Amino acid sequence: MAALATSVAEQCRCAKRASRALAQAPTAVKDAALLAMADALEQRAEEILAANRLDMDLARESAISAALLDRLRLDDARIGAIAQAVRQIAALGDPVGELIEGRRLANGLQMRKVRVPLGVVAVVYEARPNVTIDAAALCLKSGNAIVLRGSSSAIHSNAALAAVARDSAHAAGLPRDCVCLLPGSDRQELAELATQQDSVDLIIPRGGEGLKAALGEVATVPVIYAASGNCHVYVDQGADLQMAHDVVMNAKTQRPGVCNAAETLLVHEAVAAEFIPRMLAGLAGAGVQVRADEATMRIARAGSEQAAIDVAGLQEATDEDWAGEYLSLTLAVGVVADLAQAIEHIARYGSGHSEAIVTRDVASARAFQLGVDAACVYVNASTRFTDGGEFGMGAEIGNSTQKLHARGPIGLRELCTFKYLLEGDGHVRA
- The domains located in the chain, with CATH, are 8-226+397-423 (3.40.605.10), 231-385 (3.40.309.10)
What average pLDDT does the structure give for the chain? 93
Tens of pLDDT, residue by residue over 272-298, are 999 999 999 999 999 999 999 999 999
For residue 81, the surrounding DSSP H or E stretch is helix 76-91
In total, the chain counts a number of residues equal to 430
What pTM does this model have? 0.86
For residue 302, the surrounding DSSP H or E stretch is helix 294-302
Mean pLDDT over 24-28 rounds to 97
Q: Identify the band that residue 110 occupies on the pLDDT scale cut at 50, 70 and 90.
A: very high
Mean pLDDT over 328-350 rounds to 97
Gap between the Cα atoms of 428 and 430, Å rounded? 6
- Residue 309 predicted with pLDDT over 80: no
pLDDT at 63: 86
257 in helix, strand or coil?
coil
Terminal C-alpha separation, the chain: 58
- Residue 3 predicted with pLDDT over 70: no
- Residue 333 predicted with pLDDT over 90: yes
Mean pLDDT over 353-373 rounds to 98
Phi-psi region of 109 (alpha: psi -120 to 50; beta: other; left: phi over 0): beta
Identity at 160, one-letter amino acid code = A
> Cα 381 from chain centroid?
18
Nearest to 94 by CA among 408, 421, 415: 415
Q: Identify the band that residue 242 occupies on the pLDDT scale cut at 50, 70 and 90.
A: very high
- Residue 340 predicted with pLDDT over 90: yes
Tens of pLDDT, residue by residue over 385-425, are 999 989 988 888 889 988 888 999 999 999 999 999 999 99
Residues 188, 194, 198: CA angle, nearest 5 degrees: 125
pLDDT at 192: 94
Nearest to 37 by CA among 1, 92, 84, 96: 84
Residues 176, 144, 19: CA angle, nearest 5 degrees: 55
Gap between the Cα atoms of 33 and 119, Å rounded? 18
- Residue 166 predicted with pLDDT over 80: yes
For residues 182 and 155, the answer to whether their CB atoms sit within 8 Å is no
> Cα 366 from chain centroid?
26
pLDDT at 304: 65
Nearest to 51 by CA among 123, 169, 137, 150: 150
pLDDT at 159: 97
Q: Which residues pair with 103 in a beta bridge?
A: 111
- Residue 178 predicted with pLDDT over 90: yes
Work out the percent of the chain whose per-residue pLDDT is above 70. Answer: 97
- Name 429's Cβ contacts closer than 8 Å, sequence gap at least 6: 107
Report the relative pairing of strands 376-379 and 354-358 from DSSP bridges. parallel
Residues 58, 61, 67: CA angle, nearest 5 degrees: 80
- Residue 225 predicted with pLDDT over 90: no
- Residue 2 predicted with pLDDT over 60: no
For residues 119 and 17, the answer to whether their CB atoms sit within 8 Å is no
For residues 263 and 293, the answer to whether their CB atoms sit within 8 Å is no
For residues 292 and 304, the answer to whether their CB atoms sit within 8 Å is no
Gap between the Cα atoms of 270 and 241, Å rounded? 12
Q: Identify the band that residue 113 occupies on the pLDDT scale cut at 50, 70 and 90.
A: very high
Nearest to 389 by CA among 379, 380, 399: 399
